Structure 1
Amino acid sequence: MIGRPKYLVEILRPENNNFGLLRLIAAASVVVTHAFWLTTADDAQQPLSALGHKNLGHHAVNVFFVLSGILVAGSLDRSKSMKSFVASRALRILPGLLACTLFTAFVVGPLVSSTSLGSYFSDARTWLYPIQVTAMAKISAGLPGVFATNPVPNVVNESLWTLKYEVLCYTVLTLLAVCGALRSTRPFVGVLVLSALILVRITFRPADPTNLSPIDHFARFWLLFLLGVAFHHFRATIPLRWSLLAAAVLVWWAGSATRFEPVLTFLATGYGAIMLASLPGGWARDFANQHDLSYGIYIYGWPVTQALVWFRPGITSLAAAALSLLLAAVLAWASWTLVERPSLDLKKRLSRASWRRSEPSSVVGVST
């Protein structure tokens, strides 16, 4: 690309942005944050906690959902049919998740369970775990005796709880596409206006960050995801200016002690993400684009850290963070090479087959 990009549309091709690299950094940030929590069971020890009730992992997940909105909207735009879009989303999430649950239940579990091997493998929870979690029927399911003596006991993989909200965001976006709400600007603006009602809920309700309902969580994640979808929808008119980011950060800072903090945080985080994505990426961008390890690091990070804490009681938070990142990266590489990349190849073949069978009128996309 010649010259500095001026609008978001100019960086949406993978070779022109750092979306993959930002997702990798966000996944690593979540692992680091969890390492401090899992070694101490003290919320205050998590990075950035001193700045408020939101820690580093919280902000990293925000980035994940904004980028997901941009990328999934782009996937929808390119899909030749709704069937191929749904299949591509399923193939991106479920095979890697299934592999992670099988590894956790049948490799990690027997090594760290306080029960005997006979009791472990005769317990129905061991065999149900991969099914329940992959189907997202019971994403927080436990395993018999696993991590029972850790500072955060019996929690097998808390990181996975956000996946059901991501899938829910995909589902809502799919329904909006089927209804035609994403085909032109006017109905899409209507979606934005209706979603503003969610802003009213999270902005003006009594704040209690320690007691949030599923509706509260969905409100947060849907607004972040929708922000990414809106970025993609208006990509030709979204300017890339550091002065605008500075203004967004200033407004966020001014409103950080008010009820508007969540909304201002979302806007500053989202715009900051696309500005960072516009920077030159070099070899790091190329690596992240060729080897998408972010998902694997995210889903393996928690059980890896819990296992380290189990095998080495008293391990420091920094040591746990460093070792967890290393081991999670190794598992993520294996997952990417053996499971995720082959699934993506299958997704591409299905997309080509769907295009050969479909008529142009069946194409569902997001227009500018």
Structure 2
Amino acid sequence: MVAVTPYSVPRDPLLGANHLTAIRWLLASLVALGHLYLLTTAYEPVRIHQWTGGYMAVNGFFVLSGMLIAKSLSFRGDLKAYAVSRALRIYPALIVLLLAFAFVFSPIFSRPGGIENVLSLETWTYVMRVLLLGDPQNAPGGIFAGNLEADFNGPLWTIRYEIAAYILAALGFAVGVLKRPVLTLCAFIAVQTAYLVLPYVMDVSILPTGFVPLLRLSSCFLLGMVLWHWPRARRPHWGLVALAIGAFLWLGSGFGGEFLATLALTGLMLRFGLSDAAHAPVVAIPDYSYGIYIWHYPVMQAVMFLRPDTGPLMLGLLSTPIWLSLSAASWHLVEKAALRLKPKSRPSANLSSPDAPHSVASNERTFS
């Protein structure tokens, strides 16, 4: 384990070499682990209280995303360049996945399948619906018919919330609200309170579809933005992390349990992801997390389509080498090439974090 890149004291790992890529790997793997069980038994046993590993991993992704997006907006003075960079991070790999849906998964892993599915208007309507941030559920053509879960790619539901968070964060910075630490904290408290309290004061089923998930993920995203504005909060003492974990283990089944779980998870991500010493082998890990997130589910579904009686262990043995290889190909052949097209960063004249050094790390990446 070799420390890389000397830093003057105090060192802010978020602005240099860190272990966040490894954290994203772990979060994506937690989502995949949960789906091994959901697709075979309809129950995810990896949970504490009612909060499953996959569910909390999504929260963790959004916390990291909020922190890194706030960093990006603070150092970028050009919102057009920011928008292009965000699109290049999400869309190229997503387009490849949807082309695979149209030309591979739909004709081969559907009942009925065949070339008719490739030529079907429904197939391409679905592709466009996902690209335009519509509902990714209920894919056409009998995709994975007979499976326990007959949908093409369940995890895609978070993509539109991620992009919505990018847009709202940019608007918040443009009007000056999310540039200010105190106002960002107030926004987080307001959204988090609404998410916690609304189910107790009204029937949330009458709200527009997607409103409650938007509150949930926005609160996580804003927590990450708060962490950007307060660098010292990104270095929580192990005692505070242990306190958050203990509070979650004790009180996590009741009111505010998800919030306690998110705080505990965030503390662990900060301690391990932004550690005092950045170790070269960990820093050098390629960022397959987005590929893992978008490819594991359809590959698992394809295996279940061909072998309906497969259990969780066998599903993992059969599918993991395939989706991991596709994730690697996505990163090396698609995502890295797209990221090289990102506009050059132009430092903003007004940094939002007064404690942050006036330099930008070259490894700015985010996903959820």
Please give the TM-score of this superposition, normalised by the length of structure 2: 0.85
Q: Which residue of 2 aligns with 1:99?
A: 96
Q: Distance in 2 between matches of 1:8 and 1:263?
A: 30
Query: What is the CA RMSD across the aligned residues, in angstroms?
Result: 2.8
**How far apart are residue 78 of structure 1 and its match?**
2.2
**How far apart are residue 169 of structure 1 and its match?**
1.3
Q: Which residue of 1 aligns with 2:250?
A: 254
- Among 53, 56, 59, the alignment partner of 1:56 is 53
Q: Which residue of 2 aligns with 1:351?
A: 344
Note the 1:226-241 alignment, pairs <5 A: 226-241=222-237
One-letter amino acid of the structure 2 residue matched with residue 54 of structure 1:
W
One-letter amino acid of the structure 1 residue matched with residue 123 of structure 2:
T
Pair 1:300 & 2:325 matched: no
Q: Which residue of 2 aligns with 1:277?
A: 273
Q: Does structure 1 retain, via aligned residues, the 8 Å contact 2:192–2:216?
A: no
One-letter amino acid of the structure 2 residue matched with residue 366 of structure 1:
S
Note the 1:114-125 alignment, pairs <5 A: 114-125=111-122
The C-alpha deviation readout for 1:57-106, integer Å capped at 9, x for no partner, is 11211211111111111121222311111111111001111111111221
Q: How much identity, in percent, do the aligned residues show?
A: 29
Q: Distance in 2 between matches of 1:88 and 1:276?
A: 27
Q: 1:205 to 1:158 in 2, by over 3 A?
A: farther
Between stretches 255-264 and 273-282, larger displacement belongs to 273-282
Q: Which has the higher helix share?
A: 1
Q: Which residue of 2 aligns with 1:169?
A: 165
**How far apart are residue 204 of structure 1 and its match?**
3.9
Q: Distance in 1 between matches of 2:192 and 2:53?
A: 26
Q: Does structure 2 retain, via aligned residues, the 8 Å contact 1:252–1:261?
A: yes
Between stretches 190-199 and 21-30, larger displacement belongs to 190-199
Q: 1:363 to 1:304 in 2, by over 3 A?
A: farther
- Among 72, 81, 88, the alignment partner of 1:75 is 72
Instruction: Tell me the secondary structure at the aligned position of residue 351 of structure 1.
Output: coil
Q: Distance in 2 between matches of 1:322 and 1:364?
A: 51
Q: Which residue of 1 aligns with 2:35?
A: 34
Note the 1:331-350 alignment, pairs <5 A: 331-347=326-342, 350=343
Structure 1 residues not aligned, in runs of 5+? none
Q: Does structure 1 retain, via aligned residues, the 8 Å contact 2:66–2:220?
A: yes
The C-alpha deviation readout for 1:315-334, integer Å capped at 9, x for no partner, is 12112123333211111111
Q: Distance in 2 between matches of 1:223 and 1:277?
A: 21
One-letter amino acid of the structure 2 residue matched with residue 138 of structure 1:
D
The C-alpha deviation readout for 1:98-129, integer Å capped at 9, x for no partner, is 11111122122211121242432342112223
Q: 1:202 to 1:330 in 2, by over 3 A?
A: farther
**How far apart are residue 12 of structure 1 and its match?**
0.8
Q: Does structure 1 retain, via aligned residues, the 8 Å contact 2:56–2:262?
A: no
Q: 1:91 to 1:141 in 2, by over 3 A?
A: farther
Q: Which residue of 1 aligns with 2:15?
A: 13
Pair 1:180 & 2:181 matched: no
Q: Which residue of 1 aligns with 2:306?
A: 311
Q: 1:129 to 1:283 in 2, by over 3 A?
A: farther
Pair 1:244 & 2:237 matched: no
Q: Does structure 2 retain, via aligned residues, the 8 Å contact 1:8–1:236?
A: no
Please give the TM-score of this superposition, normalised by the length of structure 1: 0.85
Instruction: Tell me the secondary structure at the aligned position of residue 322 of structure 1.
Output: helix
Q: Does structure 1 retain, via aligned residues, the 8 Å contact 2:134–2:160?
A: no
**How far apart are residue 281 of structure 1 and its match?**
6.2
**How far apart are residue 212 of structure 1 and its match?**
11
Q: Does structure 1 retain, via aligned residues, the 8 Å contact 2:172–2:179?
A: no
Instruction: Tell me the secondary structure at the aligned position of residue 341 of structure 2.
Output: helix
Q: 1:192 to 1:120 in 2, by over 3 A?
A: closer
Q: Which residue of 1 aligns with 2:261?
A: 265
Q: Distance in 2 between matches of 1:54 and 1:223?
A: 17
Structure 2 residues not aligned, in runs of 5+? 355-368
**How far apart are residue 342 of structure 1 and its match?**
1.0
- Among 130, 136, 147, the alignment partner of 1:139 is 136
The C-alpha deviation readout for 1:196-248, integer Å capped at 9, x for no partner, is 44244357458999x99522211111111111111111014543321111111
Q: Does structure 1 retain, via aligned residues, the 8 Å contact 2:28–2:289?
A: yes
- Among 353, 357, 361, the alignment partner of 1:367 is 353
Q: Distance in 2 between matches of 1:33 and 1:166?
A: 21
Q: 1:185 to 1:65 in 2, by over 3 A?
A: closer
Instruction: Tell me the secondary structure at the aligned position of residue 315 of structure 1.
Output: coil
The C-alpha deviation readout for 1:152-180, integer Å capped at 9, x for no partner, is 22x01111001111111112111110110
Pair 1:149 & 2:146 matched: yes
One-letter amino acid of the structure 2 residue matched with residue 78 of structure 1:
F
Instruction: Tell me the secondary structure at the aligned position of residue 284 of structure 2.
Output: helix
Q: How many residues align?
A: 347
Instruction: Tell me the secondary structure at the aligned position of residue 12 of structure 1.
Output: helix
Q: Does structure 1 retain, via aligned residues, the 8 Å contact 2:245–2:264?
A: yes
Q: Distance in 2 between matches of 1:224 and 1:193?
A: 11
Q: 1:150 to 1:202 in 2, by over 3 A?
A: same
